[in-house]
Structure 1
Amino acid sequence: MSHATYEIKDRVALITFQNPPVNGMSYALRKNLVVFVDQAEADSGVDAIVITGSARAFSGGADVTEFGTPKVLQQPILRVVIEVLENVTKPVVAAIDGVCLGGGLELALGAHYRVAAAHAQIGLPEVKLGLLPGAGGTQRLPRVVGLEKALHMITTGQVIKAKALADTALLDKVVETDVVGAAIAFAKEVVAQNLPLKRVRDIEISPEGANEILQAAREKLENGKKGQIAPLKCLDAVQASVFMPFDDGLKFERELFLQLMSSPESAAMRHIFSAERAATKIPDVPADTLLRKVEKVGVIGAGTMGGGISMNFLNVGIPVVLLEQKQDALDRGVATIRRNYENTMKKGRITAEQVEERMALLSTTLSYDDFADVDLAIEAVFENMDVKKAVFSELDRVMKKGAILASNTSTLDLNVIAGFTSRPEDVIGLHFFSPANVMKLLEIVRGEKTAKDVLATSIALGKKIGKKPVVSGVCDGFIGNRMLYAYRDAADNAMLAGASPSQIDKALENFGFAMGPYRVADLAGLDIGWAVRKRRAEANPDAYVPVVADRICEAGRFGQKTGAGWYKYEAGNRTPIVDPVVENIVKEFREARGITPRVVSDQEIVNRCIFALVNEGAKILEEGIALRASDIDIVYLNGYGFPAHRGGPMHYAQQVGLFNVVRAIKRFAAASEAEARFWKLAPLLEKHAESNEPLK
């Protein structure tokens, strides 16, 4: 099958990539391109060559469908194709539209000239897959945009609009419309004026000031990319572009690329790439399901969560009606939204005009009657079933037929909530994570009666507002919080055994979390979890087991907001300080239970906490609450700060080896009756450990 077309337009050979959706550099496309370039060079009726893709994509880079297959290394590989372009004796012009990323940009850099649409997206995002550009990108990009800009683009994976690169040697011309026509005209000018063929590889890079730029970048990466080796390898490769001959730099880049390709970090990052795409595919919901219209959204609750949820829709131009019970609460909520936008503006991320455009889309009300014309309503009210009942009864009364009724509940039974309405098929859970305008995860909770088009619409809407949607079934805590309970219980058990809260936090931070569980709890507020535990105790007193956190809360210590929680805090400073008061509370709690503390290693802490996530995740998978093991990874990566270079708890377990995970859990369970109750092994996990089959 041909993945490119060839035609001649006014003595210019036009080669157009045809490998949708993003013209990935497949083996067939690479081969077609070389064959057509050779054909054009041999044709006396052709003066120049233009290569291009589609309006959507010049090329998005490697063809991910060929990952792990022999075709990846089948000749001509991309480096060879680029050499072919460089050595053609007729002008080669790349006409860039849509996305031009990774191997697509490396290919374009092999052309003699580049013409781009102003809105084209240009970048080398390989670092986000734990890799570096492996076809000369680290050697060529610094030669056309300068060392400092290239370093930033390559080590962060930043994607930039062509318009912002118009003043660099990367682009010879930037146009607003008809990039192919402009490229053909440009190629004819090159021929008419007999201009020299420019090869990026021949551009010299001055080493002056390079060491200072490289050292500053290295220090920043070492401090900011905990556990990730790819950004530093990217820097090493870019450094070679300055201090090595071009061909030696290419060889060095290739060596580093192969090292990264075989690294656990890259395996994890590539797993994430595939997992994110799989998460939005629901087996019983056809891809062509007709979506419901969502042109106006209503949000109930103007607090931190409601305001953050509202901003997601305002950001993409969807009007929002914000509802509260009292005017002063509304006023505070609107003021917070404006302040958040103005802070973003001060950082240069949006303009003053954009602030006003977004605020103009926000309206407020004290009456549910103003929700009569909204297409979607999301409640963000107190986590109490009676409160939810009152809200959904009102929504059911006022909202039009076909509107979607959504709950932001993080723990409550969505089926019960849906039962408060006469239209349970229109009810869904949209669980945002705080701060809702920042956190990427959107847990979409599918009730027993949720309609397929409601689910499909919610997934599409989640993607539109920049979230990572993951579908969950109904259970207490859904995927993320249910696993979080196990994680925190494992941390508490390690604390009772003899570890301190600060040791546990540090062990997990060294593993890759930004913050350990006790620092997170202080940030979120300990009273929230306390309220949940009290609710559960009331519902099932016999099952309630006191925890140290109860004693912390009883002492009036709710975290940073009260200046004391698991740690103490100085006024105006969020740095946690180990507090002897907490140490004494923990000591008394142990003594009351007859526990003699022992030395607990950092590795045991990590194993207990992470394997508790894995074990609970396996139960969730077995129960059908999550569709895939990789869905669980996406939840924990985007909602709970699991380190990306580990790939998520389920992926990490498979890298460690399921046999080793199960063995560790059995050893923990053998320690005592209490441990045996906590470490009840998931049958699915044990089954896969025995069969050596990966969890899917």
Structure 2
Amino acid sequence: MQEAMAFQELFFSDTCKSLIHVFFSQRATSKQVPGITDLGLTPRKVSKVAIVGCGLMGSVIATALILSHYPVILKEVNEKSLNAGIDRIKENLLSRVRKGKMTKEKYEKTLSLLTGVLDYEKFKTVDLAIEAVVENVKLKQQIFAELEQHCPSHCILATNTSTIDLNLIGEKTNSQERIVGTHFFAPAHIMPLLEIVRTPRASLQAVVTLLDVGKKIKKTPIVVGNCTGFAVYRMFFPYTQAALLLVDHGMDVYKIDQACTEFGMSIGPFRYLDNTKSPWRSLSRILQL
């Protein structure tokens, strides 16, 4: 009787209503996107993915993909960088083995899905190519011109940029309709959010296909516009700016962080700014993504 009364009290609480809202909202991000999911388009099959750049972001994106059984071709400019990226991926998987989340046999099978290369020769068979290099416009433009040349005509050309205009990235190509943003959050094999950035010229078929890939790699994909900061940073920038303004007016940083965490944020803005070890992970924790 007491359990039933307690359950009824919780069921009608604001917390319960909020959690139900979050549950259905997360699932609606890939099912109810006006002008995209209501057109009857069927996602194209993505059998193989290529990643250009296996630094901190490229390696965790590759980890997320092979964990969901996608064969991945990983490209770097030299053997040293390629080996370093593969070692990071191995460590990501071994961490799961140590925690009992993956057997040694599953580790070997998952790692076998990864192929490291130093050229574009094997890109002619991929269905999705993701650029994950540093935020340098000229470098990204060069890579997308190369991807256009070496990838098949149906291949989606994606960028992991967090701030750069996608139209600018694809400026040197004739494939603007194939260029879409896939903004992951580090570490990408753990953090669930995936921003799919859509330009006015982007193919709706490509967006629908990426929504399907996002779900298959166990992410919460959200379609966002091609604008400064996309969705997450458009929320994050004012959040930190407001905190800094309050400091300028004499408020204590600890009280600001306390107010933010009491409001519901995982950590405050100054604790985030002080986290030099992994700032991107802290950003996702702030917004609880």
Match of 2:24 in 1: 274
Aligned residue among 210, 233, 239 for 1:458: 210
Match of 1:631 in 2: none
| Structure 1: distance between partners of 2:139 and 2:16 | 46
Aligned residue among 61, 65, 83 for 1:309: 61
Shift of the alpha carbon at 1:421?
Answer: 1.8
Gapped regions of structure 1 (runs ≥ 5): 1-250, 524-558, 566-637, 645-696
C-alpha distance after superposition, 1:143-186 (max 9, x if no partner): xxxxxxxxxxxxxxxxxxxxxxxxxxxxxxxxxxxxxxxxxxxx
Paired amino acid for 2:165: D
**Structure with bigger gyration radius:** 1
Match of 1:389 in 2: 141
Shift of the alpha carbon at 1:507?
Answer: 2.6
Q: Secondary structure at the match of 1:429?
A: strand
Shift of the alpha carbon at 1:392?
Answer: 0.6
Aligned residue among 10, 20, 35 for 1:284: 35
Q: Secondary structure at the match of 1:372?
A: helix
Match of 2:12 in 1: 262
* 1:259 to 1:467, Cα distance in 2 relative to 1, 3 A: same
The 5-angstrom pairing of residues 314-329 of structure 1 reads 314-329=66-81
C-alpha distance after superposition, 1:95-122 (max 9, x if no partner): xxxxxxxxxxxxxxxxxxxxxxxxxxxx
- Alpha-carbon contact 1:345-1:351 (below 8 Å) kept: yes
C-alpha distance after superposition, 1:293-325 (max 9, x if no partner): 211100111111101000111012111011111
Shift of the alpha carbon at 1:391?
Answer: 1.0
| Structure 1: distance between partners of 2:167 and 2:15 | 40
Aligned: 1:505 with 2:257: yes
Paired amino acid for 1:284: G
Q: Secondary structure at the match of 1:431?
A: strand
| Structure 1: distance between partners of 2:121 and 2:249 | 55
Aligned: 1:495 with 2:285: no
Shift of the alpha carbon at 1:290?
Answer: 2.4
- Alpha-carbon contact 2:125-2:151 (below 8 Å) kept: yes
Aligned residue among 89, 92, 95 for 1:343: 95
Shift of the alpha carbon at 1:287?
Answer: 5.8
TM-score by length of 1: 0.40
Q: Secondary structure at the match of 1:444?
A: strand
C-alpha distance after superposition, 1:497-529 (max 9, x if no partner): 112333322332333333211222232xxxxxx
Match of 2:225 in 1: 473
Question: Aligned-residue CA RMSD in angstroms?
Answer: 1.9
Q: Secondary structure at the match of 1:437?
A: coil
Match of 1:522 in 2: 274
C-alpha distance after superposition, 1:386-443 (max 9, x if no partner): 1211111111111111000000011111122233321111111000001111100001
Paired amino acid for 1:494: L
Aligned residue among 367, 371, 376 for 2:119: 367
| Structure 2: distance between partners of 1:441 and 1:383 | 20
- Alpha-carbon contact 1:512-1:643 (below 8 Å) kept: no
Q: Secondary structure at the match of 2:69?
A: coil
Deviating above 3 A after TM superposition, structure 1's stretches of 4 or more consecutive aligned residues are 638-644
| Structure 1: distance between partners of 2:229 and 2:288 | 21
Q: Secondary structure at the match of 2:41?
A: coil
| Structure 2: distance between partners of 1:264 and 1:494 | 30
Paired amino acid for 1:276: Q
- Alpha-carbon contact 1:406-1:430 (below 8 Å) kept: yes
The 5-angstrom pairing of residues 670-685 of structure 1 reads none
C-alpha distance after superposition, 1:599-640 (max 9, x if no partner): xxxxxxxxxxxxxxxxxxxxxxxxxxxxxxxxxxxxxxx945
Match of 2:128 in 1: 376
Paired amino acid for 1:470: I
The 5-angstrom pairing of residues 193-212 of structure 1 reads none
Aligned residue among 410, 416, 428 for 2:162: 410
C-alpha distance after superposition, 1:550-597 (max 9, x if no partner): xxxxxxxxx348xxx9xxxxxxxxxxxxxxxxxxxxxxxxxxxxxxxx
The 5-angstrom pairing of residues 428-467 of structure 1 reads 428-467=180-219
Shift of the alpha carbon at 1:282?
Answer: 1.9
Paired amino acid for 2:137: M
- Alpha-carbon contact 1:440-1:639 (below 8 Å) kept: no
Aligned: 1:482 with 2:253: no
* 1:449 to 1:643, Cα distance in 2 relative to 1, 3 A: closer
Shift of the alpha carbon at 1:366?
Answer: 1.1
| Structure 2: distance between partners of 1:512 and 1:463 | 27
| Structure 2: distance between partners of 1:643 and 1:343 | 23
| Structure 2: distance between partners of 1:411 and 1:314 | 26
TM-score by length of 2: 0.93
